[in-house]
Amino acid sequence: MLPLTTSGKLAELNAADRAALDHVASRQAAMLDRVLGWAQVNTGSWNADGLKQLAPSIADALKETGAAVEVVDTPPIEKINAKGETDAFYTGPVLRAVQRPDAPVQIVLTGHYDTVFPPGTFTDIADMGEGKLNGPGLADMKGGICVMIEALKTFEAHGQTDRLGYTVILTPDEETGNFASDAFLRAAAAKAHIGLTFEPAMEDGALAGARKGSGIWDIVFRGRSAHAGREPEKGRSAVWAACEMALKVEALMGMRDGVVFNVGSVDGGAAVNIVPDNAVLRVGSRAPDPDAAIWAESQIMAALEETLQRDGITAHVHGGFYRPPKPRNAAQDRLIGEVRETAKGIGLDLVFKDTGGVCEGNNVFAAGTPNIDTLGVRGGRIHSADEFMVVDSLSERAGLATLILNRLADGRMDGPAIKKLMS
């Protein structure tokens, strides 16, 4: 087994590394053309037609790696509508690519092809100058998918391929929680030693370190309707109950370090002359570690129990902590250190920052696999019409990912030893 640290050696470039980097540099224009083409297709998370339109193009690109590619339909996502009823939404497919599943070192590479932009809301690509392009999904994360695929293609051409196998999972629903694709992510991650996810790096080029966990609750309140003028005393307002609980949730802010609560919306009611008999309260929380997540959920349930002391009010709860926290541990620290050292070989001094944001790296970590989850392009202002990608980061980050693959394959990075540190 390799020693627990290979500091210094990971930054050294051998002949295979240099050939791979030269190849990646030659692919910059092709990567840019590909991501610009993909950005022309709207793939908002709730735009099933757009997701299904783009999926075959991405699948064809994945096939260029030589892996066995599947386009797999996903189960429906349950959505709680404004009336508190459950609707079924069928999103796009999961794209799964498998290469050398019996190799001694296994990795899982993940990403998503949905965006936060509904059709018609953000359509144009614009040159912002200074090497930046503004466009929907360029950074988050169609650019990252291009980086991933180019790194895999380069590794297949220049790496020690016999020792490294991988599974790629590309999802259509990351921006809404991976509810249709979580099982695919966790199944692939459980078999892997290391995870690589291609979310964009932060605006300053930093990568994510620890991540908080995220919970979402849709709480459906039921009351009793009545005429608001003639006999309001016979009614029981579900909206009143939802608003009362909303105040209780907001009062939890600041009660525990690192834990955040947010009331996203209250839906319900109808005409002002009717006591409303239905309401839906939508609550979110972020927590830095498993104990904090348990505490946060217990506080929400306690607030609900107290609210339900109101006569004639009932409630039904949907949701929970769908993405567990991804804290720093021995495995994460080792992996982060070795990726930092590897990046020095191409002149990058990477910084890792803890963040309250969540991504598929949380899902991979929950399956027991250490991972780096911001290996995509440099960019910023994601989830807004000002989203941008730094163009030359396509080849830069594809080069970094290729070096990581090379080191996992030839043993300079010991994937199995890093995963053992998770226990």
Q: Same domain for 195 and 224?
A: no
Q: Same domain for 185 and 218?
A: no
Three-state helix/strand/coil letters over 98-113: EECCCCCEEEEEEEEC
Q: Average of pLDDT values for 176-195?
A: 97
* Beta carbons within 8 Å of 46's beta carbon, 6+ residues apart: 89, 118, 176
Q: Rounded CA gap, 140 and 350, in Å?
A: 20
> Hey, what are 393's tokens?
């980061």
| DSSP H or E run through 261 | strand 260-268
Q: Same domain for 141 and 207?
A: yes
Q: Rounded CA gap, 186 and 182, in Å?
A: 6
pLDDT score of 233: 95
Residue 262 lies in a domain: yes
> Does residue 2 surpass a pLDDT of 60?
no
Q: Which of 170-174, 175-179, 190-194, 203-207 has the lowest mean pLDDT?
A: 203-207
In which region does residue 381 sit, left (phi positive, over 0), alpha (psi from -120 to 50) or beta (all else)? left
Domain boundary among 286, 308, 323: 323
Q: Same domain for 219 and 150?
A: no
Q: Same domain for 416 and 284?
A: no
Q: Same domain for 309 and 408?
A: no
CATH number at residue 378: 3.40.630.10
Q: Same domain for 240 and 330?
A: no
Three-state helix/strand/coil letters over 104-155: CEEEEEEEECCECCCCCCCCCCEEEECCEEECCCHHHHHHHHHHHHHHHHHH
> Does residue 8 surpass a pLDDT of 70?
no
Contact 114, 177 (CB under 8 A): no
Domain membership of residue 415 as a residue range: 9-211+326-420
pLDDT score of 280: 98
Contact 193, 107 (CB under 8 A): yes
C-alpha distance from residue 25 to each of 18, 147, 158, 395, 400 (Å): 11, 12, 14, 6, 11
Domain boundary among 267, 302, 323: 323
**For the segment 234-288, what is each residue's pLDDT rounded down to a tens digit?**
999 999 999 999 999 999 999 999 999 999 999 999 999 999 999 999 999 999 9
Residue 3 lies in a domain: no
CA dihedral of 381, 382, 387, 392, whole degrees rounded to 10:
90
**For the segment 286-310, what is each residue's pLDDT rounded down to a tens digit?**
999 999 999 999 999 999 999 999 9
Residue 413 lies in a domain: yes
Q: Same domain for 357 and 310?
A: no
pLDDT score of 146: 98
CATH number at residue 218: 3.30.70.360
> Does residue 204 surpass a pLDDT of 90?
no
> Does residue 3 surpass a pLDDT of 50?
no
Per-chain mean pLDDT for the chain: 96
Q: Same domain for 122 and 133?
A: yes
Domain boundary among 323, 355, 370: 323
**For the segment 20-57, what is each residue's pLDDT rounded down to a tens digit?**
999 999 999 999 999 999 999 999 999 999 999 999 99
> Does residue 421 surpass a pLDDT of 80?
yes
Q: Same domain for 21 and 160?
A: yes
Helix axes 393-410, 28-39, angle to 10 degrees: 110
pLDDT score of 322: 94
| DSSP H or E run through 402 | helix 393-410
Question: Domains in the chain: how many in total?
Answer: 2
In which region does residue 7 sit, left (phi positive, over 0), alpha (psi from -120 to 50) or beta (all else)? beta
The pLDDT > 70 percentage for the chain reads: 98
pTM: 0.95
